[in-house]
Amino acid sequence: MTHRTTTDAAGTTPEIHLVWDWNGTVRDDLDDHVAALNSTLHRIGGPQVDVATYRALHTVPIRAFYDTLVGRTITDEEWSRSNAEFLADLHQRPVRLRAGVRQLMLSLRAAGLRQSLLSLAPHERLLQEVAKTGIGGLMERIDGRVGEPPHSKAPALAAHLAALGVEPGRALVIGDSLDDAVAAHEVGAVAVLHTGGLHSAERLAAAGVPLTDSLKGAVQTGLAIINSAHRLER
């Protein structure tokens, strides 16, 4: 990809790199998550969960989320089976991109910004899902998790940026959860969260980072923050 070497009309600079989250951000799948959870949670004595409850309680690590919903510490066997069943159900559902995100990514690419995708979804499943959408070619790198779900996204984000050769201070993380904000803070990146994903706006307000109602707004806000810092450094 060829990157511009001067600031363009949108005020962007070639140093900025966007890291997209997948579930709840690029993939519009909140309702799918709730449905997949309800199809499996009852097997370990959990209740039916509505969207509001999901958004209020969803957390990383996911196993702690299950403990909260069931009201007890689930066993290793229950966790392994429930997580596998949830992922299998979710993977069978159509992959829907959030409205306008493909066009947004194309415009960002045209403006010379680098983009990648980082998720805690299983890596091979993530690649299969992204392939169905046709946006994979717009990403410089796509990383999902390998192994058990981690306690935080921060180590994965640090490794992702290092593999790309991106300075954390020039990285903009666009996500929908508290963990996206925490991970960005821990590695020194900028995070902007949109309010239409897996966590409620009320919970996201506690993250202390900018919130927007759209991905386009999140990108514009984040670019403005990094560009402002960039000008102050000059």
Residue 182 confidence (pLDDT): 95
Residue 2 confidence (pLDDT): 29
DSSP string, 157-180: HHHHHHHHT--GGGEEEEESSHHH
Contact criterion met (CB below 8 Å) for 142 and 133: no
Residue 232 confidence (pLDDT): 62
Residue 165 confidence (pLDDT): 96
DSSP assigned state of 62: H
Q: Which superfamily is assigned to 17-29+96-233 in CATH?
A: HAD superfamily/HAD-like (3.40.50.1000)
With tokens 């992959």, the residue in question is 95
Contact criterion met (CB below 8 Å) for 101 and 26: yes
Strand order in the sheet with 17-20: 142-145, 114-122, 17-20, 171-175, 190-194, 211-212
DSSP assigned state of 139: -
Return residue ranges of the chain for CATH 1.10.150. Answer: 30-92
Return residue ranges of the chain for CATH 3.40.50.1000. Answer: 17-29+96-233
Residue 91 confidence (pLDDT): 85
What CA–CA distances, in Å, run from 224 to 76, 115, 117, 170, 228? 45, 17, 21, 12, 6
Sign of CA dihedral 68, 77, 31, 206: positive
- Helix 101-110 crosses helix 215-233 at what angle (to 10 degrees)? 30
* Alpha-helical segments (H) within 93-200: 101-110, 123-133, 154-164, 178-187
Q: Does domain 30-92 have CATH number 1.10.150?
A: yes
Please state, in angstroms and rounded to a whole number, the distance separating the CA atoms of residues 132 and 94.
9
Residue 4 confidence (pLDDT): 32
Residue 11 confidence (pLDDT): 46
pLDDT, tens digit (0-9, with 9 covering 90-100), for 154-171? 999 999 999 999 999 999
Residue 234 confidence (pLDDT): 58
pLDDT beneath 50, residues of the chain? 1-14
